[in-house]
């Protein structure tokens, strides 16, 4: 159906050499978008993902850029525009989670969490949205988290950044929706990725806790985020704005159940 087709669109997904970013970039590519893969450190890894995607018939390109560095971002956005066309879809996905309780986390790590998860979506969007405003069309998706809504021991810095990102999303919609730009968020629940690998290690009671706490009764696979990403990137969501779409197997719908039930 044309409503969900991304043919002719250029999509930049930050932090997309791995995990949820890679899965979403792949999905957007399969929906016919030209996808720009972004990583910050390894050119080899970046090229590997681009090759992998190309072999699957996706029009993919790679761009190495640290999305916390404003000058690098300016350059990347310009170069993408010149080489592949203006960015129609921006997915602010790059993120980190330094887990430590609030009394133990060094201030520098708290700051890095905010810088990467919250400040960088602001800077990247600012650079991309000017073109979108001029063309009166565009989609921005900020990857939030369940932690945009809920707290948890040891993720206070991360939760602060993701709560902030939810409000940044709402404010972007407030200021930019009038230019026919849709800015929304996706709030993933517990997905089996590298970021959550320590939580799923054998013997970590957190694994059982999450399965018990999730109405769907399991962890999610990264591919299960693709539908939400395509929806919010496509014509199908042209009047959806400032919304956070939680893809969480129902966690936010419930307080959970006793472990022995
Ligand atoms: C954690 C996890 C979470 C998830 C996810 C939940 O330590 O609780 O890392 O932060 O990654 O963001 O939505």
Ligand 1 pocket, 165 CB below 6 A?
A: no
Q: Which atom of ligand 1 is nearest to the CA of 193?
A: 11
Question: In the numeric block, which tokens belong to residue 222?
Answer: 């990264």
Q: What was the pLDDT predicted at 203?
A: 84
Atom 7 of ligand 1: nearest residue by CA position? 155
- In the predicted structure, residue 58 carries a pLDDT above the cut 80: yes
Residue 158 falls in the annotated catalytic set: yes
- In the predicted structure, residue 30 carries a pLDDT above the cut 90: yes
pLDDT band at residue 1 under the 50/70/90 scheme = low
Distance CA 181, CA 129 (A): 9
- Phi/psi of residue 167, nearest 5 degrees: -70, -30
Strand ranges of the sheet holding 138-143, from the earlier edge strand across to the other edge: 60-64, 34-39, 10-13, 89-92, 138-143, 181-188, 244-247
Q: Which atom of ligand 1 is nearest to the CA of 206?
A: 8
Greater pLDDT, 198 or 185:
185
Distance of CA 14 to the CA centre of its chain: 8
| pLDDT tens-place string over residues 70-87 | 999 999 999 999 999 999
Distance 147 CA to ligand 1 centre (A): 7
Distance CA 2, CA 31 (A): 10
Distance CA 224, CA 233 (A): 16
Ligand 1 pocket, 101 CB below 6 A?
A: no
Q: What was the pLDDT predicted at 258?
A: 81
DSSP states along 82-139: HHH---SEEEE---------TTTS-HHHHHHHHIIIIIHHHHHHHHHHHHHHHHT-EE
Global model pTM greater than 0.95:
yes
Strand pairing class (60-64; 34-39): parallel
């Amino acid at each position: 159906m044309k409503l969900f087709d991304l043919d002719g669109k250029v999509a930049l997904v930050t932090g997309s050499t791995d995990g949820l970013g890679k899965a979403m970039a792949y999905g957007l590519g399969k929906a016919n978008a030209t996808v720009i893969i972004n990583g910050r450190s390894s050119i080899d890894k970046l090229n590997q993902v681009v090759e992998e995607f190309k072999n699957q018939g996706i029009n993919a390109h790679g761009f190495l850029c640290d999305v916390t560095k404003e000058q690098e971002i300016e350059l990347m956005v310009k170069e993408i525009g010149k080489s592949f066309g203006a960015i129609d879809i921006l997915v602010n996905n790059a993120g980190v989670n330094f887990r430590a309780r609030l009394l133990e986390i060094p201030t520098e790590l708290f700051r890095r969490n905010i810088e990467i998860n919250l400040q960088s979506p602001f800077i990247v969007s600012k650079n991309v949205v000017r073109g979108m405003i001029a063309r009166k069309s565009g989609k921005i998706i900020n990857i939030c988290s369940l932690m945009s809504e809920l707290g948890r021991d040891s993720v206070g810095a991360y939760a602060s950044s993701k709560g902030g990102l939810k409000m940044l999303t709402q404010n972007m919609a407030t200021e930019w929706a009038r230019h026919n730009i849709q800015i929304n968020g996706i709030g993933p629940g517990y997905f089996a990725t590298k970021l959550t690998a320590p939580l799923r290690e054998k013997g970590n009671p957190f694994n059982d806790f999450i399965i018990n706490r999730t109405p769907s009764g399991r962890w999610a696979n990264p591919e299960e985020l693709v539908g939400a990403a395509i929806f919010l990137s496509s014509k199908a969501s042209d009047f959806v704005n400032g919304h956070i779409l939680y893809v969480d197997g129902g966690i936010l719908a419930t307080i959970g159940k006793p472990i022995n039930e």
